[in-house]
Amino acid sequence: MKKILFVTGTRADFGKIKNLMGIVENSEDFELHVLVTGMHMMRLYGSTYKEVKKQNYTNAYFMPNQHTSEPMDAVLANTIMILSRLTGAVEPDMIVVHGDRIEALAGATVGALNHIRVCHIEGGELSGTIDDSIRHSITKLSHIHMVANEEAKRRLIQLGEAVDSIFIAGSPDLDVMTSSKLPALSDVKARYEINFDEYGVVMFHPVTSEENEIDVYAENLFKALDSFDKNYIVIYPNNDFGSAKILTVIKRYENNPKFKIFPSLSFESFLVILKNAQFIIGNSSAGIREAPFYGLPSINIGTRQNARFKGETVINCDYEEVSIINAIKSISRERLERSTHFGEGNSTELFEKFLNGQELWSIPVQKVFVDIKP
- pLDDT at site 335: 63
- pLDDT at site 292: 87
Categorize the per-residue pLDDT at 279 as very low, low, confident or very high, splitting at 50, 70 and 90.
very high
Alpha helices, DSSP H, located in the chain:
11-25, 49-53, 72-90, 102-113, 130-141, 150-158, 173-177, 185-192, 214-226, 243-251, 267-275, 290-293, 321-329, 347-356, 358-361
How far is it, in rounded angstroms, from Cα 305 to Cα 284?
8
Residues 6+ apart with CB under 8 A from 255: none
How far is it, in rounded angstroms, from Cα 290 to Cα 274?
8
- Judge if 143 and 78 occupy the same domain: yes
- pLDDT at site 241: 83
CB atoms within 10 A of CB 348: 21
Model confidence at 307: pLDDT above 80? no
Residues 6+ apart with CB under 8 A from 127: 100, 135, 285, 304, 305, 306, 307, 308
Model confidence at 338: pLDDT above 70? no
- pLDDT at site 339: 62
User: Do the domain assignments include residue 318?
Assistant: yes
User: Do the domain assignments include residue 349?
Assistant: yes
Model confidence at 310: pLDDT above 90? no
- Judge if 216 and 277 occupy the same domain: yes
Say what percent of the chain tops pLDDT 90. 75
- pLDDT at site 129: 74
- Judge if 232 and 167 occupy the same domain: no
User: Do the domain assignments include residue 33?
Assistant: yes
How far is it, in rounded angstroms, from Cα 213 to Cα 330?
26
How far is it, in rounded angstroms, from Cα 249 to Cα 207?
16
* 3-class state of residue 166 by DSSP: strand
3 or 242, greater pLDDT? 3
- Judge if 247 and 160 occupy the same domain: no
User: Do the domain assignments include residue 370?
Assistant: no
- Judge if 91 and 196 occupy the same domain: no
Laid out side by side, the sheet with 314-317 consists of 259-262, 232-235, 200-203, 279-282, 298-301, 314-317
Model confidence at 93: pLDDT above 80? yes
304 or 144, greater pLDDT? 144
Cβ proximity of 206 and 237 under 8 Å = yes
User: Do the domain assignments include residue 323?
Assistant: yes
**Residue type for position 205:** H
pTM: 0.85
- pLDDT at site 147: 96
- Judge if 206 and 308 occupy the same domain: yes
Least confident of 57-71, 198-212, 306-320: 306-320
- Judge if 101 and 212 occupy the same domain: no
The winner for highest mean pLDDT among 122-136, 204-218, 357-371 is 357-371
Rounded to the nearest integer, the mean pLDDT of the chain is 92
Q: What b/e string do you get for 36-46 counting C-beta neighbours within 10 Å, with b at 16 or more?
A: bbbbbbbebbb
User: Do the domain assignments include residue 197?
Assistant: yes
63 or 346, greater pLDDT? 63
- Judge if 279 and 352 occupy the same domain: no
User: Do the domain assignments include residue 366?
Assistant: no
Domain count, the chain: 2
- pLDDT at site 249: 97
Categorize the per-residue pLDDT at 179 as very low, low, confident or very high, splitting at 50, 70 and 90.
confident
Categorize the per-residue pLDDT at 334 as very low, low, confident or very high, splitting at 50, 70 and 90.
low
- Judge if 165 and 227 occupy the same domain: no
- Judge if 132 and 7 occupy the same domain: yes
- pLDDT at site 272: 97
Q: What value does the CA radius of gyration of the chain take, rounded to a whole number of Å?
A: 20
User: Do the domain assignments include residue 335?
Assistant: no
Q: Which domain holds residue 209?
A: 185-329
CB atoms within 10 A of CB 89: 10
Categorize the per-residue pLDDT at 12 as very low, low, confident or very high, splitting at 50, 70 and 90.
confident
How far is it, in rounded angstroms, from Cα 215 to Cα 238?
15
- pLDDT at site 207: 87
- pLDDT at site 130: 80
- Judge if 233 and 291 occupy the same domain: yes
- Judge if 320 and 352 occupy the same domain: no
How far is it, in rounded angstroms, from Cα 218 to Cα 258?
17
Categorize the per-residue pLDDT at 281 as very low, low, confident or very high, splitting at 50, 70 and 90.
very high
Q: Output the domain CATH number for residue 63.
A: 3.40.50.2000
- pLDDT at site 34: 99
How far is it, in rounded angstroms, from Cα 304 to Cα 302?
6
Over residues 248-262, the pLDDT tens digits come to: 999 999 999 999 999
Over residues 138-161, the pLDDT tens digits come to: 999 999 999 999 999 999 999 999
